Amino acid sequence: GLRGSAGTRFPLAELHCHIEGAAPPPLVERLAARHGIDVSPIIADGAYVWQGFSGFLAAYDLAASVFKSEEDFADLAHSHLSGLAAQGAIYAEIFISPDHARASGIEPAIYARGLAAGIERARGETRIEARMVVVGVRHLGPDAVEMAARFAAEPGRPLITGFNLAGDERVGEPRDFERAFDIARDAGLGLTAHAGELCGPQSVRAAIESFRPARIGHGVRAIEDAGLVSEIVEKGIVLEVCPGSNLALGIYDDIKAHPLKQLVDAGVRATVSSDDPPFFHTDLSREYRLAAQNGLGEAERIALTRTALEAAFVEEDVRRALI
């Protein structure tokens, strides 16, 4: 339940973290050396270096390419979730990308099996619960995104409970990806989509209209349109807000300028997440601290966790045991 835990006064939960984006630079350097891959363009002095959103995506793609085996992915999920549990997290969703798996030379089914094994191992050691959300990469085009949806919708994929649209929000229109979301919805998967991060309110409106998602990734730029904020409140759509990511990408200049508190005050159901933690020099505990610096009191920060559990793409019996 929502009582205390190690390190924090209340448990944490996150809904928005890309698994390859959680890879620590030293691990990426070690695997890169094993495979003869040069990661010096993206890692310096033990930290990722990149500029701008396109530079970030390119750095992410190169870091992801050093993970090649089922065991590599089991270890990655296990270390990510063990780290979250040590921060006081009791639930996490990870975004997984069949396109990144294929680019690394591994079958998506083997990739997902390795990640599932890492989740089970972390749960056995720390009791943290986790589920996987398959992403389609929008700048790879509608056919690739539809393939990702078909992969997610295939019966018998343990721990895969959702579908998401990621990649460069500036490329394409939500209507281009409606068929992918129809496939995921028909399979009973939870639906979420990145919108309102690099692009403004119109991108969020279009994503809501085209996908009918339960959640929006980021969505923060909805604040620029009061009517849209009302629609998000009325529909009960949950925002996966990633303040540290927004600061690292320069969406907002400082935490005082971030709209999280304004969205919460307007009645929006919000959660916080780390997105790609080492790339953005953050982790989940810092996201909760950023929420405090943005003006959320302790009760409002506890509500971030409660909302994450309520909006989790997880079986009802597991949800009830966590809340």
List the catalytic residues.
197
User: CB-hemisphere CA count at 13 Å for 321?
Assistant: 10
Among residues 141, 208, 143, 133, which one has the least CA distance to residue 164?
A: 133
What is the amino acid identity at position 23?
Answer: A
Nearer to ligand ES4, 11 or 21 (CB): 21
Closest distance to ligand ES4 from the beta carbon of 7 (Å): 26
Closest distance to ligand ES4 from the beta carbon of 220 (Å): 14
14 binds Zn ion (CB under 5 A): no
Footprint (CB under 5 A) of Zn ion, residues 267-286: 275
Nearer to ligand ES4, 139 or 185 (CB): 139
Question: Sheet containing 269-272: which strands, arranged edge to edge?
Answer: 12-14, 89-96, 129-137, 160-166, 190-195, 215-218, 238-241, 269-272
Nearer to Zn ion, 138 or 261 (CB): 138
- Tell me phi and psi for residue 164, to 5 degrees: -145, 155
Nearer to Zn ion, 133 or 303 (CB): 133
Spatial separation of the C-alpha atoms in residues 88 and 8, rounded to whole Å: 6
137 contact, one of Zn ion, ligand ES4, none, CB 5-8 Å limit per kind: ligand ES4
Residues across the chain: 323
Q: Residue 6's CB: how many other CB atoms inside 10 A?
A: 9
283 contact, one of ligand ES4, Zn ion, none, CB 5-8 Å limit per kind: none
Give me 78's structure tokens. Answer: 């296990």
287 binds Zn ion (CB under 5 A): no
Closest distance to Zn ion from the beta carbon of 257 (Å): 20
Taking residues 19 to 58 in sequence order and writing x for each that binds Zn ion by CB under 5 A, - otherwise, the string is ----------------------------------------
Total residues contacting Zn ion (rule CB under 5 A)?
1
Nearer to ligand ES4, 84 or 137 (CB): 137
| Residue at token pair 């490329």 | 171
Taking residues 56 to 95 in sequence order and writing x for each that binds Zn ion by CB under 5 A, - otherwise, the string is ----------------------------------------
Footprint of ligand ES4 (CB under 6 A): 18, 21, 60, 137, 166-167, 194, 276
Q: What angle do CA 36, 280, 219 make, to 5 degrees?
A: 125
What sign does the dihedral 181-77-302-281 (CA atoms) show?
negative
User: CB-hemisphere CA count at 13 Å for 194?
Assistant: 26
Residue nearest to Zn ion (CB): 275
Where do contacts with Zn ion occur on this chain (CB under 5 A)?
275
